C-alpha cells in the first residue's frame, strides 16, 4: 500500500475537526481521528523528527531549534538535517527499496539523499543554496513555479502583506506537490505546510474571542478559519490525484492556543537571586548583550514557547559556582520556586517543569538542566532583560499572538478498513503506523506503536 502524509505545522484539533471542512470531515468519517499528543518540548524542531523516527528528543539530542554548545555561556548551534543521527522512516524505506517524495519536512536542510525526491524545509536560507535531492530537481521546480518560497517573515505588523505572502507560499507548495504526485514515482509521499503555523502566530488574537487582545469586528477576524477552508479545498484536489489503494494521514506536530502573555524568566531569576548582572539595563536587551556576573550567578534562562533553565556548576561551566554535590538540591529548589509562580493577578498557574533525565530514556547532545511549561504553555517565556514587570502582554521579540498546545491532530484514512472512530494517539505512533500500513517490520527500538494495532487491524510486525 502507498501512503501520503499531509503535515500541517501547528494545526489545532479545534479547527481541523470542524464540520465546515468537508474533505477533512470525509476522511474522519471513514477513518480514525483524534488528538495527537506531541513530544516534550512541543516545538516544530524536534517534533517532526520525533514523529518520523519514533524516538525521543533526548535520544535525538534535539531540544529545540537552537541549542547551547557544550557548557558555554553564549555559544550556540542551530539544528538542521545534519544533526539527525538516528534512522528515520525514509531510511527504512530506502532499505526496503520503496520510493519516497518529501517536501518541506523539518529539518531537511541541507538536503540529503533519499530513494526518490526531496525539497528542503523552512530553515533553508534561500534559493541560492542547493535545496533538492537530486540536485537537478531544483531546475524542475524553478521551471514550474519560479523562485521557490520556503517560509515568510511572520513577526510583522504588516499583516495584509503577510497574508498575501502566506497564500502565495501555500499555493506554490500545492502546485509543486501536484506536479510531484503526477510526475514522480513514489510509495511514500509527505509534505509539511508551515503556513498554518505562521497564520496562527500572526492572526490568533484577531480570531480568538477569548484572547486578551481580541477586538470584535476586526478586519482579520476570519483569516484563520478562511485559511483552513482554503486548505480543505486543496486537500480535495490532492485526494482526486491518488488511487483508491493509497492510505492518507493528516498530522500536526503540535496544536495552538492564544498566548496570554510573556513571562520574563530572566527578570524573575534575577529577582530570586539566581542571576546577577553587573549593571541593570535601562531598556529591553537580550541577556547575551548584558554583563552577567558569572562568578555570582547560579542560573539563567532562555525564552521561547517554553523556557530552558541552565545551572552554573563548578567544574562544568567556565565560572561555575554551584558545587556538584549541591546540584540536585539547587535544581529542585528552582523547580519548586518555578511551580509557585502565579499570574499577574495572583491567579494559580499550572506550571510544569521537566528534568531531562526523568523525561527521556536517554539524553544526547546538549540538554538544558530544566525545561519549563509556564502555566501549561499558555504563557511564553521572555528571555530579554530591562523590563519593569515580569508580565508582558505581548511577545518580547516581535508580534506573536499564539503559543503551542501539546495536542495536535491526526486523521488516518485506510481504504482497506473504512470506519469512523475517534481515538487519541501519540506523535511517537506515526512512524510505526506508516510502516504497518506498508507491510514493513517496525524496529524494536521505536517508542510508539501502530494506531492500526489499537484498532484491531492486526499487530505491526516487529
Q: Which of 360, 379, 399 is the last residue of a domain?
A: 399
Write the DSSP string, 426-452.
EGGGHHHHHHHHTT-PPPTT-SS--HH
339 and 436 housed in the same domain: no
Q: What is the CATH number of the domain that holds 423?
A: 3.40.720.10
Tens of pLDDT, residue by residue over 140-152, are: 999 999 999 999 9
Alpha helix stretches (DSSP H) within 240-397: 265-271, 327-339, 356-359
The three cell numbers locating residue 160: 495584509
Split at pLDDT 50, 70, 90, the class of 462 is confident
Name the residue among 404, 427, 11 with its Cα closest to residue 194: 11
| 435, 342: one domain | no
Q: Per-residue confidence at 53, pLDDT binned at 50, 70, 90?
A: very high
Cell of 420: 469512523
Cell of 298: 547560579
Contact between 128 and 99 (Cβ < 8 Å): no
Rounded Cα–Cα distance for residues 286 and 303 (Å) = 10
For 107-148, how does the pLDDT look when each residue is reduced to its tens digit (9 = 90+)? 999 999 999 999 999 999 999 999 999 999 999 999 999 999
- On whether both 356 and 418 belong to a single domain, the answer is no
Query: Is 459 within the bounds of a domain?
Result: no
**339 and 376 Cβ atoms separated by less than 8 Å:** no
Task: Show the CA angle centred on residue 420, arms to residues 416 and 425, nearest 5°.
Answer: 90
Asked if 106 and 237 sit in the same domain, the reply is yes
Q: Are residue 284 and residue 411 in the same domain, yes or no?
A: no
Q: pLDDT tens digits for 164-187?
A: 999 999 999 999 999 999 999 999
Q: Are residues 248 and 335 in the same domain?
A: no
Query: Which range of residues forms the domain containing residue 310?
Result: 261-399
Mean pLDDT of 346-369: 97
Question: Cα(115)–Cα(93) distance, rounded to whole angstroms?
Answer: 8
Q: What gap in Å lies between CA 387 and CA 73, rounded to an integer? A: 22
Report, as an integer, the average pLDDT of 324-341: 98
Q: How many folded domains does the chain comprise?
A: 2
Residue 242 within any structural domain of the chain: yes
Instruction: Go through the chain and tell me how many residues it has.
Output: 462
**pLDDT of 63 over the 90 cut:** yes
Q: Among the three residues 352, 375, 399, which one is the final residue of a domain in this structure?
A: 399
The pLDDT, as a whole number, for residue 456 is 62
Q: pLDDT category, 208, cuts 50, 70, 90?
A: very high
CB 237 within 8 A of CB 179: no
Q: What is the pLDDT of residue 303?
A: 97
Backbone torsions φ then ψ of 2, nearest 5 degrees: -85, 155
In-domain check, residue 460 = no
272 plus 345 within the same structural domain: yes
Helices 223-239 and 195-207: angle between axes, nearest 10 degrees: 150
User: Do 167 and 79 fall into the same domain?
Assistant: yes
Indicate the burial class of 303 (C-beta count within 10 angstroms; 0-12, 13-18, 19 or more).
buried
Residue 26, helix vs strand vs coil: helix
pLDDT, position 56: 98
Specify the pLDDT at position 30: 92
Q: Are residues 387 and 426 in the same domain?
A: no
- Residue 171 and residue 425: Cα distance in Å, rounded? 30
As given in the structure block, the three cell numbers for residue 439 are 507491510
Q: For the residues 383-408, what does the mean pLDDT come to?
A: 95
What is the C-alpha R_g of the chain? 22
pLDDT of residue 457: 62
- Label residue 404 left, alpha or beta by phi (over 0 means left) and psi (-120 to 50 means alpha): beta
198 in the same domain as 95: yes
Do 238 and 270 share a domain, yes or no?
no
Q: Is the pLDDT of residue 289 over 80?
A: yes
Q: Considering the domain boundaries, does residue 461 fall inside one?
A: no
Q: DSSP readout, 196-221?
A: HHHHHHHHHHHH-TTSTT--TT-TTT
- SS3 track for 232-260: HHHHHHHHCCCCCCEEEEEECCCEEEECC
Kindly write down the DSSP assignment for every residue of 76-120, as one continuous string. EEE--GGG--SPPHHHHHHHTT--EEEES-SS--S----SEEEE-
What local confidence, expressed as pLDDT, does residue 455 receive?
66
Q: Are 266 and 359 in contact (CB under 8 A)?
A: no
Grid coordinates representing 41 are 518540548
pTM of this structure: 0.96
For position 272, what pLDDT does the model report? 97
Question: Which grid cell sits at 276?
Answer: 546577577
Residue 33: which of 207, 248, 341 has the closest Cα? 248
- CA 36/CA 359 separation, integer angstroms: 18
Amino acid at each position: 500500500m502507498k501512503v501520503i502524509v499531509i503535515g500541517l505545522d501547528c494545526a489545532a484539533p479545534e479547527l481541523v475537526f470542524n464540520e465546515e471542512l468537508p474533505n477533512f470531515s470525509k476522511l474522519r468519517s471513514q477513518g480514525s481521528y483524534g488528538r495527537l499528543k506531541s513530544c516534550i518540548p512541543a516545538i516544530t524542531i524536534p517534533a517532526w523528527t520525533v514523529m518520523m523516527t519514533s524516538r525521543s528528543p533526548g535520544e535525538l539530542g534535539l531540544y529545540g531549534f537552537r541549542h547551547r554548545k557544550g557548557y558555554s555561556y553564549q555559544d550556540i548551534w542551530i539544528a538542521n538535517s545534519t544533526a539527525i543521527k538516528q534512522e528515520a522512516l525514509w531510511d527504512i524505506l530506502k532499505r526496503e527499496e520503496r520510493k519516497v517524495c518529501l517536501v518541506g519536512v523539518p529539518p531537511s536542510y541541507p538536503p540529503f539523499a533519499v530513494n526518490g525526491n526531496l525539497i528542503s524545509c523552512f530553515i533553508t536560507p534561500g534559493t541560492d543554496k542547493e535545496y533538492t535531492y537530486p540536485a537537478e530537481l531544483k531546475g524542475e521546480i524553478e521551471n514550474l513555479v519560479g523562485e521557490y518560497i520556503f517560509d515568510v517573515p511572520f513577526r510583522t505588523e504588516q499583516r495584509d502583506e503577510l497574508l498575501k505572502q502566506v497564500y502565495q507560499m501555500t499555493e506554490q507548495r500545492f502546485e509543486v506537490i501536484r506536479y510531484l504526485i503526477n510526475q514522480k514515482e513514489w510509495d511514500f509521499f509527505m509534505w509539511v505546510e508551515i503556513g498554518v503555523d505562521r497564520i496562527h502566530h500572526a492572526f490568533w488574537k484577531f480570531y480568538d474571542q477569548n484572547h486578551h487582545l481580541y477586538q470584535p469586528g476586526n478586519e482579520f477576524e476570519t483569516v484563520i478559519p478562511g485559511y483552513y477552508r482554503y486548505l480543505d479545498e486543496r486537500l480535495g484536489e490532492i485526494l482526486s490525484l491518488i488511487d483508491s489503494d493509497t492510505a492518507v494521514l493528516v498530522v500536526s506536530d503540535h496544536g495552538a492556543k492564544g498566548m496570554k502573555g510573556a513571562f520574563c524568566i530572566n527578570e524573575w531569576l534575577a529577582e530570586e537571586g539566581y542571576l546577577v548582572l553587573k549593571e541593570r539595563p535601562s531598556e529591553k536587551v537580550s541577556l547575551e548583550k548584558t554583563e552577567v556576573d558569572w562568578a555570582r550567578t547560579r542560573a539563567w534562562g532562555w525564552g521561547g514557547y517554553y523556557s530552558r533553565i541552565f545551572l552554573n556548576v563548578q567544574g562544568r561551566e567556565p565560572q561555575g559556582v554551584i558545587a556538584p554535590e549541591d546540584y540536585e538540591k539547587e535544581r529542585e529548589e528552582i523547580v519548586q520556586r518555578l511551580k509557585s509562580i502565579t499570574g499577574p493577578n495572583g491567579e494559580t498557574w499550572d506550571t510544569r517543569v521537566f528534568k531531562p533525565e526523568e523525561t527521556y530514556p536517554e539524553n544526547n547532545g546538549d540538554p538544558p538542566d530544566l525545561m519549563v511549561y509556564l502555566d501549561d504553555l499558555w504563557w511564553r517565556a521572555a528571555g530579554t532583560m530591562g523590563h519593569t514587570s515580569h508580565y508582558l502582554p505581548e511577545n518580547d521579540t516581535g508580534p506573536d499572538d499564539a503559543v503551542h498546545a501539546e495536542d495536535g491532530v491526526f486523521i488516518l484514512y485506510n481504504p482497506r478498513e473504512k470506519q469512523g472512530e475517534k481515538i487519541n494517539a501519540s506523535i511517537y505512533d506515526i512512524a510505526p503506523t506508516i510502516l504497518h500500513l506498508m507491510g514493513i517490520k517496525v524496529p524494536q527500538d521505536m517508542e510508539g506503536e501502530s494506531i492500526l494495532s489499537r484498532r484491531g487491524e492486526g499487530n505491526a510486525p516487529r
